[in-house]
Chain A
Amino acid sequence: MKRLYTHFGDRVFALVLLLLALGVVALALLMAYELYRGGSLALGRFGLLGFALGREWDPALEKAFGAWPYILGTLIVSLSALSLSFFPALAAAIFAAEYAPRWLAQILNFLLDLMAAVPSVVYGLWGIFVLAPWLRDKLQLPLYLWAAEHAPGLLPLLGVPTGYGLMTAILILASMIVPYTAALARDAIALVPREHREAAYALGATRWEVMRLAILPLARGGILAGAFLALARAVGETLAVTMVIGNSHKLPYTLFGGAATMPSVIANEFTEAVEDLHLSALIAVGFLLFLVSMAVNFTAAYVLRRQERLVKGVL
């Protein structure tokens, strides 16, 4: 092994690789540092914890900034979108990889990839003009009226049925992240060695049993990786969410009512933030978003590693 690297060209190549790889790491660190520095005015004024847990965001009168409503909004929206989209995406992947005839699988895969390529502003416009009014008239208003009559206790949870709010944002986001989970799950399922399936069939397993006992356990790592990629995408999604979420940071959030996320408040207020403290608070929200994304990625890495160990244990 060692002799492989003694050749001069190989050494240069290894060095270039190392430098480029370190460059990526340095870029991430530099970004975190710059965000921290830009946000230090606000973080210094309110303290990191005070800023992260503060509930008030008032750039006009009190000049008080707290990011808690945005952190909460980001977590609610992205986790709900993931849990809504995970099983449909997995089903689509299984169907495309195992059940569908080839021509249908091709169409399905093409459409899934297309969904990932549609710009988020298009999802947002569709949300404003089609989904939100439809949800309001067909789901939220009837539900609200029903609750008003039969279960008034639910009303504070439901909120005002305007169509622009948490629920619409979650649904839009869920449909945006389906292709990410589906594509990785599909590839993971396709990568499961043929012998495993054949062995399971040879033991007399039904199709569903083959899927459950032979394929899914092996593909679990890839499926989870897809889910985490989708979650990271959901945490960072800005435009489509901003267009339909109603942009209100009044806690508590309700199902139909407006909410706000970290990317949405940055996108909304950055251009016209004139005062230094306001601008600094927005950059500090960016810093927190960086921390949240990092936490998501670390959790993902941890879960994946545990999965790998489990799979190795099984084998």
Chain B
Amino acid sequence: MRAKGVLLAWVALAGLGLAQQTLTLVGAGATFPYPLMAKYADEYTRLTGGKVRVNYQSIGSGGGIRQFLEQTVHFGASDAPLDDGRLKEVRERFKTQALNLAYALGAVVPVYNLPGVKEPLRFTGPVLADIYLGKVKTWNDPALQELNPGVKLPPLPITVVHRSDGSGTSYVFTEYLAKVSREWAQKVGRGTSVEWPVGVGGKGNEGVAGVVRQTPGAIGYVELTYAKQNSLAYGAVQNKAGRFLLADLASIKAAANVPLPGDMRVSLTDTAAPDGYPIASFTYLLLYENLSVNEAVKSEAEARALVEFVKWILTEGQRYNEPLTYGALSPVAQQRALALLARVTYEGKPLGKEIVGR
């Protein structure tokens, strides 16, 4: 009887101890970095001996931004940084800044289905824009043939395929097209969903890839990660410096080798970096500069755990990016992100400076 009582007391104590030690950080947002986030979460929980768990819900960038503003999460995640309107909203409502920390890079690649064509095709931004505007209609169009002198292009009609669901992938792609084609900027613009002039809409990367695979003469765009994992053939795109580059981990990492603004809100498409792939972009974590305004952060311990976790992502966690085919931060980008993290405070205490500076 007594032994049983002691055992019960031990179990109760152990349970209490566990409850005190385990912290759960909750994040929500973009679907694109979900595999990477899941990996970070696993590794970080292992590293801390189960003391810090990370629960990331991939509900989409729009949902991530809304949950961030409604303060139901410790951090938000978005494929695009917060725009000026949202930053102003945060300033006025919560009297603090919202920080956009880039922690990985993604790239968008043109995929196509051309029977008999083995070597990767070459594209330029304006030609891609003309294809998606419906102006270049066949594969043996002079504009394409000129770029690919060694390839015998078939007289197939081009079936344009785009994402039908709103996505960061579409945002990056249309943002690039809007930069390189004035007509695209005026007629279509950029966004997670746009009014596509022509083409078939497929749902998700798998929908676009499915339609492209089943349709000879189709062209689509998917994330590099998806193209690599499913071994899809994709084309090279000419960058601003005039070089034709196939997207790979080196060329998307290089895309961020440009002067970066302090708040990291920068578009990397059509990058000026000579060996940078032109359709690349950062993906962001969203944090409040003053963590005490975020109702989801309930204690200093949580705030500390959050800053520690983000610091780990920006430093040691970076080595998990490339095996999962996400771009890693360049040294400059890493410095910028850490400098932003250093600004984080909690109830007046400079937690960011303390943890980053360690």
Contact = CB atoms under 8 A, between A and B. Distances in A.
B190 interface: yes
B194 A271 contact: no
B181 to A, nearest CB: 14
Interface residues of A, number: 36
B204 to A, nearest CB: 9
Contacts of B210: 125, 128-129
B293 to A, nearest CB: 21
Contacts of B322: none
Nearest to B207: A243
Contact of B193 (A56, A165, A268): A268
B159 interface: yes
A61 B192 contact: no
B207 A128 contact: yes
B201 A271 contact: no
A22 to B, nearest CB: 32
B191 A60 contact: yes
A268 B188 contact: no
A248 B214 contact: no
Contacts of B214: 128-129, 132-133, 163
Contact of B200 (A59, A133, A246): A246
Interface in A177-210: none
Contact of A61 (B31, B61, B188): B188
A272 B62 contact: yes
B28 to A, nearest CB: 11
Contacts of A264: 164
A158 to B, nearest CB: 15
A287 interface: no
Nearest to B86: A274
B174 interface: yes
A274 B82 CA distance: 10
Given A243-B207, A271-B62, A60 B167 contact: no
Interface string B165-189: 1111000001000000000000111
Contacts of A247: 164, 200-203
Given A273-B62, A279-B62, A242 B164 contact: yes
B211 A128 contact: yes
Which of A60, A243, A248: most chain B CB closer than 10 A?
A60
A269 interface: yes
B310 to A, nearest CB: 22
Residue among A56, A271, A273, A274 having the largest count of chain B Cβ atoms under 10 Å: A274
Interface in B85-142: none
A272 B61 contact: yes
A125 B214 CA distance: 12
B12 to A, nearest CB: 41
A164 interface: yes
B199 interface: yes
A273 B193 contact: yes
Contacts of B60: 270-272
A272 B203 contact: no
A249 B190 CA distance: 18
Contact of A60 (B159, B165, B189): B189
A162 B203 contact: no
B195 interface: yes
A246 to B, nearest CB: 5
Given A60-B194, A128-B207, A274 B61 contact: yes
B63 A61 contact: no
A222 interface: no
A249 B159 CA distance: 17
11 contacts: A58-B194, A59-B192, A60-B195, A61-B188, A128-B214, A242-B164, A247-B164, A260-B201, A268-B166, A268-B193, A271-B62
Given A164-B211, A246-B200, 8 more contacts: A56-B195, A61-B191, A267-B203, A268-B201, A269-B193, A271-B59, A273-B192, A274-B65
Interface of B: 31, 59-63, 65, 80, 159, 164-168, 174, 187-196, 199-203, 207, 210-211, 214-215
Pairs of residues from A and B, 3 with the lowest C-beta to C-beta distance, nearest first: A247-B201, A271-B60, A272-B166
